[in-house]
Amino acid sequence: MNTKTISIICLAITFVVVFLILFYYAKRKNGDLNTEYDERQVAARGKAYKAGYYAMMLYYALYFIADTIEIEIPNKYNATLIFAGIAFGVAVFTVAAIRSDAYLKMNESRERQIKLIVLLIVINGGVGIVNIMSGEISEILPLNALVTLLGIVILSAMLIHQKKTSGAEEDDK
C-alpha cells in the first residue's frame, strides 16, 4: 500500500469515528431517536415525500430521454448524474418539508441541525478544495460538489424559514 491509500483509509476511519461519536451524543442527549411528529407534520411530510419522489422520477425520465436520443455524456460523469437524481429528490423533499414546518421533530433544536448541515458543507467543500489544490482532480470531485450544493440548498431553506418564523413570532407579540 502506498501513502495515499493509507491516508484515505485513515480519513475514512476518522469520519466513521466522528459520526459514531455524534450519533452517540445525539442519542444520549435526547434519550432516544424516536420521531415525535404531530399529525399535521406527518401529513405535510407525506406530501413532501411525494413531491420529492415525483421530482426524482422526472429527473430520471429526462436522463433516460437524454440517453435515448444519444446526447454525449462523458462516462466519468455518469455516477454523478445518476446520484444527482437522488440529490434532486432529497432537495425537493427537504425544502417542501421545511416550508411546511414538518422537517424537524416538535422538540428538536433547529440550531443543532443547522450546525450539522454546516459541518457537512465544510467537510465536503474542504475535501473538494484539497483535491483541487493538490492538482489531482478526481472523479469523485463532482460528487463532493453535488453534496456540498445540496447542503447549501438545505441550509438556505432552513435559514429562510427560520427568518420568516422569527419575524412572524415578533408580529404576533
Q: Please answer whether residues 104 and 110 qualify as being in contact, where contact means their C-beta atoms are separated by less than 8 angstroms.
A: yes
d(CA 82, CA 59): 9
The pLDDT value given to residue 29: 57
pLDDT tens-digit readout, 56-110: 999 999 998 988 888 887 777 778 888 999 999 999 999 999 998 888 877 777 8
d(CA 102, CA 100): 5
Mean local confidence (pLDDT), 116-137: 82
The residue behind cell 420521531 is 35
Per-residue confidence at 28, pLDDT binned at 50, 70, 90?
Answer: low
pLDDT tens-digit readout, 1-17: 667 777 777 778 888 88
Judged by phi (left if over 0) then psi (alpha if -120 to 50, else beta), residue 31 lies in left
